[in-house]
Structure formats: structure tokens, C-alpha cells
Structure 1
Amino acid sequence: MTVDLDAMSLKELRDLRNKLDRAISTFEDRRKREALAAVESAAREFGFNLAELTAARPARSKVAAKYANPQDPSATWTGRGRKPRWVQEALDSGKKLEDLEI
């Protein structure tokens, strides 16, 4: 199918664009429905339904802070992950981690 865009009027070009937009949207919707059907089928093969597999997992509970900055008690650390600068500075100055415990 060859379309001579140069020979078309502005109205014809806009109509063509609208038809293309609708065709693309319809195509994408159809592909999404096909993908969803395939995923649901795969879930059934494993004995699940899609809702079971996509249900939100419970969020991890927050870990309580174990250490606080003596100069700024609002600055806390749980003891997990990288040490904050204030913890490292306290350790470098001769304090022990136990000295910073809450």
C-alpha cells in the first residue's frame, strides 16, 4: 500500500493521522489482552490464578534504631548497612559502638 502524502490536503493528513492513532491503540489493546491471557494460562499450568501471584507482599517491618548520635539524638542508626559518618567519627575518636547504644 503506497500513500502519496505530498498529494494529500491538510484535512486528509489529519484524518489519516487520527485513523493511525486509533489503529495503533486498538493494536496495543489487543496485544495486552493476548499477553494477559498468556500469563493467566501459564499461572493455571502451575496451579495458581493470576491474582494469587500478583497479590501485594507484606511490607517489611521497620527495624528499630540501636544507636544515636550523642551530639544530635535525632540522628540514629539501626546497625545495618553502611555506618553513618557520625558513627565512624566516634569510633575513630576512641569510642566504642556500645557507647552509642540507645
Structure 2
Amino acid sequence: MAKSDINLNNLSVPELNQLIEDAKAALDGKKQGAKAQLIEEMREKAAKLGLELGDLLDKPGPRTNVRKPRSDAGKAVAAKYRGPEGETWTGRGRMPRWLTEALHHGKAKEDFAV
């Protein structure tokens, strides 16, 4: 069916939806057929060279851009600061409220060092 055979302006919404679904199904079928044909052609060419199709494809190497986990990940960290009421902070992450308030009142962070 040629493009000019269908007047889209005369179709209702359900008819247009059905047309779209039918076109998608036809496209998927054509793609699968073309893919199968291409694979068969490549198999034949590889066989002429005495190779398997899998031999022609590059095998993925090790991924080198992946970050390695930290060696101390998940381990407990010793506290570096102790608050006036026994609270502790390792120095990592967000500064605790007790230390923020103490710094605001003129204390130094080193005053709380363990």
C-alpha cells in the first residue's frame, strides 16, 4: 500500500491507533527478517573463511574505567572529635549540630579533638 492510498484525515482516532499498531507490527517483522538474512549471509561468508560467526565478533575486554571500592569501605572509623556531652564525630560527612553550634559560639574545632 502506497502512502498516497491512505487519507489520514478521513480516519477516526481508533482507526489511526489501529493503523499505527499494524505499522509497528509490520516494521518489527521486516526488521526480524532483515536481521535473520544478514546473520545467514555473515555465517556463509565466515564459513568460506573457515571461521565461526562468533570468532568474528570482538569479545569485550575487562572494564578498566570502573572504580574500585575503597579498601576501608564499611569499616568503622575512629572518632576524631568528642562533644561536651560525650557525642562523637569521625570528621566525615556532615558536621554534627553540637559542633556547628560550638563553632558559631566562638569555639575552635581543635578544642573538641580526641
TM-score by length of 1: 0.52
Q: What is the distance in 1 between the residues matched to 2:33 and 2:13?
A: 30
Identify, as 1 or 2, the structure richer in helix: 1
Query: Kindly tell me: are residues 57 and 14 of structure 1, through their superposed partners in 2, closer, same or farther at Cα, counting changes over 3 Å?
Result: closer
Structure 1 counterpart of 2:32, one-letter code = D
| 1:29 CA drift (Å) | 0.9
Query: Kindly tell me: are residues 40 and 7 of structure 1, through their superposed partners in 2, closer, same or farther at Cα, counting changes over 3 Å?
Result: same
| Higher RCO, Cα 8 Å, sep 6+ | 1
Aligned residues: 59
Match of 2:12 in 1: 9
Gaps of 5+ in 2: 63-114
Q: What percent of counterpart residues are identical?
A: 20
Query: Kindly tell me: are residues 46 and 11 of structure 1, through their superposed partners in 2, closer, same or farther at Cα, counting changes over 3 Å?
Result: same
Match of 1:38 in 2: 41
Following TM superposition, where does structure 1 have runs of at least 4 consecutive aligned residues deviating by more than 3 angstroms? none
Is structure 2 residue 24 aligned with structure 1 residue 26?
A: no
Larger radius of gyration: 2
Q: Render the CA deviation track for 1:39-80: whole Å, top value 9, x for unaligned.
A: 011000101111222252766xxxxxxxxxxxxxxxxxxxxx
Q: Render the CA deviation track for 1:7-66: whole Å, top value 9, x for unaligned.
A: 11000000000000110111011101100100011000101111222252766xxxxxxx
| 1:5 CA drift (Å) | 1.1
Q: What is the distance in 1 between the residues matched to 2:8 and 2:59?
A: 50
Gaps of 5+ in 1: 60-102
TM-score by length of 2: 0.47
Match of 2:87 in 1: none
RMSD over aligned CA atoms reads 1.7
